[in-house]
Amino acid sequence: MSLTRREIIQSGAAALSASLFRTASAAGSTTQYPKAAADACIFLWLGGGAAHLDTFDPKVRGDGLKKPGSYYGSIGTAIPNVQVCEHLKQTAPLLDRCALLRSITHSIKGEHAAAANLVHTGRLPSGTIQYPSAGSIVSHELGAKSDDVPAYIVMGYPNITRDPGFLGAKHGYVYLTQVDIGPNGLVRPPDVDAGRQDRRETLLGSMREGFLARHAGDKEAQAQSDVNRQAFRLAGPKFLNVFDLNKEAASLREAYGGEFGQRCLLARRLVQSGVRFVEVSFNLNFLNGSGWDTHNEGQVKQHLLIQDLDRAFATLLLDLEKTRLLHKTLVVIATEFGRPPEFDSGGGRGHQSEAFTMLLAGGGLRTARAIGVTDEIGREVVERPITVPDFHATMHCALGIDPSKNLYAGDRPVPITDHGKPVMELFS
């Protein structure tokens, strides 16, 4: 059979492309990336853009009007020569369990949704592929520790930025909005007793098997079937008992504080039960009127948010330590961007992605350090910039996941991170 010149070129290009992918994959598989001891992650999400200047990277104090700078005073910490906001009083003496990454930077200026998607997936959007969130990647790579619990849970409302993307429904999340009753979809109605539930499951099972037989080889149908089966397992008492916070000492519940603190307590219980990745969303906007998006008057009562974060986070660290989970649990404080040093006309702050802070704790990392430096008013990174893909690579390495490994969207190889490099200073 004769080939045209175009067909020969196309065939050669395809072969070269395949060879390059094989070479890149082989090279990635031999790259030695560091690993820490973590086998689970608690991801504390400060949605809205928490001001680094008013939390973990304080600078000279501004006046809330024309003079740029921090809104609050600063205090010393367990890390020599490292200070934090004066409202982080409980966290400051525990900061040796943490690493501050003070030079996070990306290019999305003011779009909350786009920036939140970047921080959750480690990538800019693509018109041809939906990338998985970090939680879904952890689910895919590590799976749950037990068949009785899911791998990935989100405390907050469903959002596409947390989705599994091309990894499929099996690596999606279970979400809940109330900590005391568990996920609504798993709670059996009062009028459905065990016998009635068994009959329902038997009927649904026969319908499911018939559907799969008619659609043999359909990966999406099989994945959805697997999710449904898991949902029935999760509706059992073993998993739902995790949500009974009354099993904890009243003094501990009080130490954690309000709604966000109770979510953090539940996160510890979920990790203890075998869940790999728990996102805890801090979305209590009513505390200051605007949440962490502190435009205008939201700045005035921002300290209420910071104090709530301080109480819950400090108690979580001590609780994980007491239950011998801190070394194995990576705790993350993340946000989509920071805030500029200048104040707006209403006394609040705008958005800033060029320089801000995120935090890692526990997980077997080399903590008790602040990495990266911003300028004297926190507007720009002047030392050790860390990209969002770098941040993701660091999280994955802490969890023993190769950040260069290829996942596959169909036949298309997609590295777990977008050329991210782990922050090597955190690994021994």
Pairing of strands 356-362, 98-105: antiparallel
Q: Name the amino acid, one letter, at 311.
A: R
| pLDDT for 233 | 56
Would you tell me the crossing angle of helices 302-322 and 259-273 to the nearest 10 degrees? 30
Q: Of 74-83, 173-182, 270-279, where does mean pLDDT reach its minimum? A: 173-182
Residue 353: domain span: 31-187+235-426
| pLDDT for 22 | 37
Stated pTM of the model: 0.85
When divided into structural domains, the chain yields a total of 2
| pLDDT of 289 above 60 | yes
At residue 223 the predicted structure's pLDDT band, cuts being 50, 70 and 90, is low
Helix (H) or strand (E) holding 210: helix 194-214
pLDDT in tens, 35-89: 899 999 999 999 999 999 999 999 999 988 889 999 999 999 999 999 999 999 9
CB 109 within 8 A of CB 351: yes
pLDDT in tens, 19-40: 333 334 444 445 789 989 999 9
Give domain status of residue 274, yes or no. Answer: yes
Buried-state track 202-214, b at ≥16 Cβ within 10 A, e below 16 = eeeeeebeeeeee
Strands (E), 81-130: 83-85, 98-105
The residue length of the chain stands at 428
Give domain status of residue 9, yes or no. Answer: no
Residue 158 shares a structural domain with residue 109: yes
Residue 74 shares a structural domain with residue 198: no
Residue 104 shares a structural domain with residue 248: yes
Report the alpha-carbon distance of residue 423 to residue 115 in Å, rounded.
Answer: 21
Residue 126, helix vs strand vs coil: coil
Report the alpha-carbon distance of residue 33 to residue 392 in Å, rounded.
Answer: 13
Report the alpha-carbon distance of residue 350 to residue 48 in Å, rounded.
Answer: 11
Average pLDDT of span 126-149: 93
Residue 272 shares a structural domain with residue 306: yes
Residue 172 shares a structural domain with residue 272: yes
Residue 147, helix vs strand vs coil: coil
Give domain status of residue 3, yes or no. Answer: no
Residue 282 shares a structural domain with residue 382: yes
Residue 274 shares a structural domain with residue 400: yes
Give domain status of residue 18, yes or no. Answer: no
Give domain status of residue 375, yes or no. Answer: yes
Which DSSP string corresponds to 302-347?
HHHHHHHHHHHHHHHHHHHHHTT-GGGEEEEEE-S-B--SS--TTS
| pLDDT for 219 | 59
| pLDDT for 371 | 98
pLDDT in tens, 76-117: 999 999 999 999 999 999 999 999 999 999 999 889 999 999
| pLDDT for 301 | 92
Give domain status of residue 327, yes or no. Answer: yes
CATH (domain of 368): 3.40.720.10
Residue 202 shares a structural domain with residue 244: no
Residue 239 shares a structural domain with residue 292: yes
| pLDDT for 328 | 98
CB 130 within 8 A of CB 163: yes
Which residue, chain included where needed, has tokens 């003094």?
Answer: 251
Residue 52 shares a structural domain with residue 107: yes
Average pLDDT of span 319-331: 98
Report the alpha-carbon distance of residue 47 to residue 283 in Å, rounded.
Answer: 7
Residue 383's DSSP bridge partners are 373
CB 414 within 8 A of CB 131: yes
Give domain status of residue 20, yes or no. Answer: no
Q: Of 178-182, 183-187, 244-248, 372-376, where does mean pLDDT reach its minimum? A: 183-187
The HSE-up count of residue 129 (CA atoms within 13 Å, CB side) is 17
Using alpha carbons only, give the angle 83, 74, 258 rounded to the nearest 5 degrees: 95
| pLDDT for 182 | 63
DSSP state of 189: P
Q: Which two tokens stand for residue 149?
A: 């619990």
Average pLDDT of span 413-418: 96
Helix (H) or strand (E) holding 357: strand 356-362
CB 408 within 8 A of CB 121: no
Residue 244 shares a structural domain with residue 225: no
| pLDDT for 196 | 62
Which residue, chain included where needed, has tokens 């995790």?
Answer: 242
* Domain end position, chosen among 208, 233, 258: 233
Largest CA distance in the chain: 82
Report the alpha-carbon distance of residue 122 to residue 141 in Å, rounded.
Answer: 16
Strands (E), 204-325: 277-281
Give domain status of residue 24, yes or no. Answer: no
| pLDDT for 18 | 35
Residue 63 shares a structural domain with residue 196: no
CA torsion sign for 229, 234, 237, 239 is positive
Average pLDDT of span 199-208: 60
